[in-house]
Each structure stands twice: as structure tokens, then as C-alpha cells.
């Protein structure tokens, strides 16, 4: 995210700020190991910090080597990083990284507070129009399936800023499948069938990319589209158009939203922030929270705030 102009030279400046799972700056005194690589994979000398912010001076090559990678680690915290950081001698760049404590847990709001502070989220969760039942589902997930609730909230927040030709994906949903479909990496619901054409149109405008052979990974899926806005934590919308219902007079299709960590394997390899143990399991909503927040900050978008924190 560019923040200031400066004189032409072969030196570029990167401002790096470190945050915790509550989206606040880490306390001064927390020891952080910072590693910097240029686009040619030449690594700068590592730095040990005890403050929440640092300004780095790096070389500008005016070629592919200007795509820098920054990696940060701290004891008892998950590693964090960002790539590519495109530097320019005329523009300083600001990067925000989230160092999440390994023992950080979900801190959810109660339903009344969520409804007051995050009306768009609560309205989506209550898209079927039965608030007492939704409140019951919400409280049950908080106590029994917190990772699934976090995933649902992550997806709700992420879909709220996807602008289709008409509205956002949230506006098309008529019911969430609460009982069986909620998992820590996805959920299922029924949405106005018009969402399919809306996403196809958005794909033709370069906002999504179609996934070939979606049925290989999504059962009876008929089509699937991945958001292209970020390098990390993009929403994927998968449609099961042979499973239909009429809800309140609206013809609906089954929709499966999920979020992947990285848009490409190259970013995954360069950042090295996904624990090996996750490669054979389900997507971790805590990691999605971190990656989506970092990506949004870098893109200069409104802060990713899914209605909970990790503390």
C-alpha cells in the first residue's frame, strides 16, 4: 500500500508494523525475528526487533528483484509473512503483519452484541428470518464447534466486500444449512439462483476465475469460481445447481462458499507460514483470519473484521 513520495534513487523504503490477534499493535519488548528477501531470493541480514514498527531500506533494481518477501517470527507465535511487496524508490510501502499467539483462542461476541455492532453479519446469519432459532444455532456453535463458527464469520465478512454487478453474495442467500453443513473450512446454503449468473458476469470482468472440473473436489458441483482480489484468502463460490429449492417464492440453488490459503503454490512456498501439519487437514479458520487481514491491509481495503478476535 503506497503511503508517501520520496526522491528518486536506488533505495526503497518499507514500513513494517506488527499486530496481534486482536488487531492491535504488539507490545514493545516482544522479540521478533525479521527476514527479508528480494525477488531473486537473495536474503538480507536478519534483524531482531523489540518494537511494533520498523522502517527498512532496501535496494530497488527496477526489475523482478523488486518483488520482496518479508517473514517474521516470534517465540510462541505463528510465523507471518507477505509476498510480493513491490518496491519503488518514489513510493514508500507499508506492510502490516499479524503475529498470532499459538495459544490464541476464539473470542466471540454474544448474539445481542453481535447484532448491535455487526448488523450486516447478523442479518446474513438470520437470512431465513427466524431469529430465535438462529440465536440458538449461534450459541450452540460457540460452545461446541467454535472453528466452524469462525469459518462462517470469516466467509460472511469476506463475501460482504465482494461487489457483484448487483449487490454482494450475502444478499442472495435465503437459508444457511446450520445442522450438518457447517465445517471449519466451508458451509452450505441456498441462494437465489440469480447469484450464478452474477458470478459468471463478474468472472467475465476478471473478478473471478472458473475452476475446471469442480465436481472432482466438490461432489455434485456444476460450477465453481474463485475470487482474484488478493494473493491470499480468496473466497471460492461453488454451485450445486442440480440441488434446488423454492424458498419464499424464490427459486434457489445450493451454494458452497469456502476460502483457500493462497492463490498459487508459489506464494505458499515463498512465505513458508503454513504449518506442515495443516497440509493434510482442513483449512484452519485462524490462519484464514490472519491471511485475509494481512491481504486486506496491503490492498488498502477496509479492515477485515469478522466479528470476533483471536486472543
Is the per-residue pLDDT at 213 higher than 70?
Answer: yes
Return mean pLDDT, the chain: 91
Distance CA 200, CA 198 (A): 5
Local confidence band at 8 (pLDDT 50, 70, 90 cut-offs): low
Burial class (CB in 10 A: 0-12, 13-18, 19+), 205: exposed
Is the per-residue pLDDT at 267 higher than 90?
Answer: no
The answer to whether 236 and 257 are in contact (CB under 8 A) is: yes
Distance CA 275, CA 298 (A): 23
Helix axes 146-159, 131-144, angle to 10 degrees: 120
Cell 488478493, residue?
230
Pairing assessment for the beta strands 11-19 and 91-98 based on DSSP bridges: parallel
Is the per-residue pLDDT at 21 higher than 70?
Answer: yes
Is the per-residue pLDDT at 146 higher than 50?
Answer: yes
The pLDDT tens digits for 46-66 are 999 999 999 999 999 999 999
Q: What single DSSP character describes residue 85?
A: E
**CB under 8 Å to 255, separation ≥6 — which residues?**
169, 172, 173, 188, 189, 190, 191, 195, 237, 238, 239, 240
Q: Which domains, from first to last, does the chain contain?
A: 2-98 (2.60.40.1120), 106-310 (no CATH)
User: What are the C-alpha distances in Å from 72 to residues 49, 75, 208, 211, 270?
Assistant: 10, 11, 30, 33, 13
What is the pLDDT at residue 236? Answer: 94
pTM value? Answer: 0.91
Choose between 277 and 26: higher pLDDT: 26
Count CB atoms within 10 A of the CB of residue 22.
Answer: 12
Strand order in 53-59's β-sheet? Answer: 2-5, 91-98, 11-19, 53-59
Annotate 270-281 with b (16+ C-beta within 10 A) or e (fewer).
Answer: bbebbeeeeeee
The pLDDT tens digits for 105-145 are 999 999 999 999 999 999 999 999 999 999 999 999 999 99
Distance CA 77, CA 181 (A): 31
Is the per-residue pLDDT at 103 higher than 70?
Answer: yes
Is the per-residue pLDDT at 277 higher than 50?
Answer: no
What is the pLDDT at residue 243? Answer: 97
Choose between 190 and 264: higher pLDDT: 190
Nearest one of 254, 250, 273 to 262, comparing CA atoms: 273
Amino acid at each position: 500500500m503506497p503511503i508517501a513520495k520520496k526522491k528518486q534513487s536506488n533505495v526503497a523504503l518499507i514500513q513494517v508494523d506488527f499486530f496481534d490477534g486482536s488487531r492491535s499493535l504488539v507490545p514493545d519488548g516482544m522479540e521478533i525475528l525479521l527476514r527479508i528477501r528480494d525477488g531473486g531470493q537473495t536474503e538480507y541480514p536478519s534483524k531482531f526487533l523489540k518494537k511494533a514498527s520498523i522502517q527498512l531500506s532496501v535496494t530497488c533494481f527496477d526489475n523482478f528483484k523488486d518483488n520482496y518477501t518479508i517473514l517474521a517470527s516470534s517465540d510462541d507465535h505463528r510465523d507471518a509473512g507477505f509476498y510480493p511487496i513491490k518496491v519503488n524508490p518514489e513510493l514508500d510501502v507499508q506492510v502490516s503483519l499479524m503475529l498470532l499467539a499459538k495459544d490464541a483462542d476464539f473470542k466471540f461476541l454474544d448474539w445481542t452484541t453481535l447484532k448491535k455492532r455487526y448488523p450486516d453479519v447478523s442479518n446474513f446469519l438470520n437470512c431465513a428470518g427466524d431469529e430465535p432459532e438462529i440465536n440458538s444455532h449461534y450459541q450452540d456453535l460457540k460452545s461446541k464447534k467454535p472453528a466452524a463458527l469462525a469459518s462462517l464469520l470469516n466467509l460472511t465478512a469476506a463475501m460482504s466486500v465482494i461487489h457483484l454487478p448487483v449487490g454482494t453474495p450475502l444478499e442472495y442467500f435465503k437459508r444457511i444449512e446450520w445442522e450438518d453443513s457447517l465445517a471449519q473450512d466451508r458451509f452450505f446454503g441456498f441462494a437465489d439462483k440469480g447469484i450464478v449468473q452474477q458470478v459468471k458476469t463478474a468472472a467475465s470482468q476478471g473478478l473471478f476465475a472458473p475452476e475446471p472440473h469442480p465436481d472432482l473436489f466438490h461432489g455434485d458441483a456444476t460450477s465453481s469460481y474463485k475470487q482474484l482480489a488478493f494473493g491470499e484468502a480468496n473466497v471460492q463460490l461453488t454451485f450445486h445447481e442440480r440441488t434446488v429449492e423454492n424458498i419464499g417464492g424464490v427459486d434457489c440453488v445450493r451454494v458452497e462458499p469456502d476460502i483457500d490459503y493462497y492463490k498459487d503454490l508459489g506464494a505458499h512456498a515463498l512465505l513458508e507460514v503454513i504449518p506442515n501439519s495443516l497440509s493434510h487437514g482442513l483449512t484452519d479458520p485462524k490462519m484464514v483470519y490472519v491471511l485475509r487481514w494481512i491481504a486486506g491491509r496491503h490492498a488498502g481495503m477496509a479492515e477485515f473484521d469478522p466479528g470476533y478476535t483471536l486472543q
